[in-house]
Copies of this chain bind each other. A is one copy, B any other.
């Protein structure tokens, strides 16, 4: 792996941190990481590096901070061009950015509404919203196997990093993504076999454990 001065301020279960890790693995770039204690007290470095949002991930490149996961993945792609992650045509890049933005705005939040639901009606509404989002995401998937066509790229990274939270949504929502979205599920399996993804995604059981703790904090368990 190439040696670069890269430090990731990290929280391993965060889908957004996972995106950055997959991108760096795809590029074959070694990096250091520092785990943040999001509940106990964030590091001075995090607060200084991302004063606006005070959130992980932050990637420090030669000491300079880059924030927001989709922006970081684009930075990685532009700074270390080989192999390319974003499509080569400006139109296809705009399409990839559109869906990344859609996923950013909708997927994690609608999934979170499932495990935060307080009653049966709320849960039903949350599930329906999540299914609507997944329907759109599945619709954007190419028939060639990946979002951008026949090879794993930018939008696959953005989306796959959210999927190890799906088993938690399934458990607390009592459904199976695979039953409703077979094409998307086949894509998840395909991507999960990739080394960059397998190395970067936390164990779904750890996510379930974390979500169970969060439900206790919300008075739901």
Contact = CB atoms under 8 A, between A and B. Distances in A.
Interface string A43-84: 000000000100000000100101110011011001100000
Contacts of A71: 94, 97-98, 101
Nearest to A71: B97
B52 A64 contact: no
Interface residues of A, number: 22
B52 A136 contact: yes
A108 B78 CA distance: 30
Copies in the complex: 2
A93 B75 contact: yes
Given A52-B136, A136-B52, A90 B75 contact: yes
B68 A93 contact: no
A102 interface: yes
A118 to B, nearest CB: 26
Contacts of A39: none
Q: Which 8 A-B pairs have the closest CB atoms?
A: A78-B90, A75-B94, A79-B90, A66-B94, A71-B97, A71-B94, A75-B90, A67-B98
13 contacts: A64-B91, A66-B91, A66-B94, A67-B98, A71-B94, A71-B98, A74-B93, A74-B94, A74-B97, A75-B91, A75-B93, A78-B90, A79-B90
